[in-house]
Amino acid sequence: MKAAVFHRRGGPEALVYEDVADPEPGPDEVLVRVRACGVNHMDIYVREGSHGMKAPLPHIGGLESVGEVAATGSAVADWEIGARVLVLSFTADGTCESCRSGRDNLCAARQIIGVNRDGGFAEYVAVPGSALLRIPDHIPFVDAAALQGSFGTAWHMLVDRARLQPGETVLVLAAGSGVGSAAVQLARHLGCTVIATAGSEEKRTLALALGAQHVLPTAGHFDREVLRLTGGRGADVVAEHIGPDTWTKSVASLRIGGRLVTCGGSSGRMAATDLWSVFWKELTVLGSMGVTRADMVHVLGLVGDGAVSPVIDRTFPLSATREAQVYLAERRAFGKVVIVPEE
């Protein structure tokens, strides 16, 4: 099959499009013919070996694949050939302490598909049958491939972790990103007031069109603006995924008793926190790691009902996975970038 592979860690040039052996599904695995795969910042970190990401080599990235069941292992009984499926970006054993409490995203035996094992930047991917979810027939593959890293992540952040309530004010950072564009829509759907940030005038216009009531420059003093827009009170919830470049301002944007939830750090790992603000205002900092299976069931229902829809910036063919990663890294996209294998 064709795949986008890297044999060494490095820049975009390390990624090559080439023929590799078709994956062989194990007894409890399913072979999925990939029809689309979302591109994630994690794919870039894995290729670079940055942010502590060390994938086995050679490696095929791709955390957000969807497609059709092409073959099943001998122990797989619940998936039929041709079923339209979304591949969860992680494997879970279903038995550890995390899994038993519904936090399968934190499974002790977790493997991240596309990080710890080969992912979906290929014509086929072999994954455990337990990592699959059925996609409603009327959701196109490209839309489905855009859901996990956008609405899935946003749902886990805002609903599961931050317990966002109707009427609250939420600050969404980088509304032009996949997760940001979804968080804006989801928060509006939940009946919240949304203040967003975006990195360019064009993205600010698009964020308003998605439903944000106010959109501020990400690079500016958005904390001061949030306080002004809320009459000095601050936001109930801040949805963070940028990290060092925005963290201090995100903390300063919160109201007394506010919650900051973070699902990523695209600008780095280390940031300074004003501890006096944390105890003085009794702030809560919440981590949010990817999605759970339950989150994705909610999201597929929400998108299937037409309540919200993913924002797709553009698609690239599988042979141009390298260009797609460069495009994402340069922050030119508004919404998700999706890879589609050639017919």
Chain residues in the site for Zn ion (CB under 5 A):
92-93, 96, 99, 107
Which residue, 97 or 282, has its beta carbon nearer to Zn ion?
97
**Which residue is it, tokens 């005038």?**
201
Largest CA distance in the chain: 62
What's the rounded Cα separation, in Å, for the pair 268 and 186? 26
Least distance to Zn ion, CB of residue 106, Å: 8
**Which residue is it, tokens 């064709």?**
2
Would you put residue 279 in left (φ > 0), alpha (ψ -120 to 50) or beta? alpha
Which residue, 208 or 294, has its beta carbon nearer to Zn ion?
294
Rg of the chain in Å (alpha carbons): 20
Burial class (CB in 10 A: 0-12, 13-18, 19+), 2: middle
Which residue, 96 or 320, has its beta carbon nearer to Zn ion?
96
Least distance to Zn ion, CB of residue 18, Å: 35
Residue 139: DSSP 8-state: S
Helices first, then strands: H and E counts in the chain:
11, 18
Which residue, 50 or 95, has its beta carbon nearer to Zn ion?
95
Which residue, 92 or 226, has its beta carbon nearer to Zn ion?
92
Residue 165: DSSP 8-state: -
Q: Between the CA atoms of 112, 113, 117 and 119, what dihedral angle is there, to the nearest 10 degrees?
A: -150
Least distance to Zn ion, CB of residue 234, Å: 37
Least distance to Zn ion, CB of residue 99, Å: 3
Q: Which stretch of DSSP H or E encloses residue 70? A: strand 64-72
Least distance to Zn ion, CB of residue 100, Å: 8
Which residue, 99 or 212, has its beta carbon nearer to Zn ion?
99
What's the rounded Cα separation, in Å, for the pair 27 and 88? 19
**Which residue is it, tokens 């109201």?**
255
Least distance to Zn ion, CB of residue 94, Å: 6
Which residue, 105 or 266, has its beta carbon nearer to Zn ion?
105
Which residue, 246 or 292, has its beta carbon nearer to Zn ion?
292
Least distance to Zn ion, CB of residue 91, Å: 9
Least distance to Zn ion, CB of residue 129, Å: 16
What's the rounded Cα separation, in Å, for the pair 153 and 321? 22
Beta pairing class for 336-340 and 64-72: unpaired
Nearest 5°: the CA angle 32, 38, 43 is: 100
Among 159, 133, 161, residue whose Cα is nearest residue 147 = 133
